[in-house]
Amino acid sequence: MKPLNKSDLWRLKRTLRRKVDYRPIEDSDVKYVWAAYKKGAMSPMGFEGTNLTADEFKSKFEEIVVTRCPATWVLFANSKRELRPVGVVFGAWAPNAAYIIVSGMCWFPWASKRNIIESVVNFLNGVRREFMLMFYALPEHKRTYEVCAMHGIVRRVGTSYTAIPGKAAACFETRAV
């Protein structure tokens, strides 16, 4: 990554000016995840190529959240009328460690690029005050997290060739407050 000029730096305060939010997933959020699944947005969590009914999807999704990803949040961004869900973050506590490893971030098809940047910056900025996060990004998603790094809330710590089998993934972690 090239060195940053002062004019290249993103201002965290300005990005967080718009209304965005996040919270742990609730039962009422599954309908939005179901809608995203029907549009093909849940493939990072193993739902690609499946044709599940609503009840089958709900039971499989709940199993994933309860057994593999107990730290799951829904991210919200501003729309014309109200806050609406734009993505979901799946994570689990690292073994014998005080940080969470993010195993997947799924963005809903109706989320704009602006919604994604604002909500992920807000999420990472808020969560880093409670505990550290570590996550991996494929080359096609890396730019989103580089923008978060420009805001000063995460840093790139290397590349992993084992985290995502068969792919080189950029490794990021949240910066301490």
How many residues in the chain? 177
The tens digit of pLDDT for each residue in 128-144 reads 999 999 999 988 889 99
Kind and range of the H or E run holding 34: helix 30-38
The model carries a pTM of 0.87
pLDDT at 80: 78
pLDDT at 49: 63
Domains of the chain (ranges; CATH) run 8-174 (3.40.630.30)
- Asked if residue 15 has pLDDT above 90, the reply is no
- Asked if residue 7 has pLDDT above 60, the reply is no
pLDDT at 17: 79
For 152, the token pair is 């000063």
pLDDT at 177: 78
The strand ranges marked E within the chain are: 20-24, 71-78, 83-93, 99-107, 132-137, 154-160, 169-174
CA 113 from centroid of its chain's CA atoms: 13
- Cα dihedral 60, 66, 69, 74 sign: positive
The tens digit of pLDDT for each residue in 94-119 reads 888 889 999 889 899 999 998 999 99
75-89: b (≥16 Cβ within 10 Å) or e: bbbbeeeeeebbbbb
Please state, for a pLDDT cut of 90, what percent of the chain lies above it. 51
Side chain identity at 175, as an amino acid letter? R
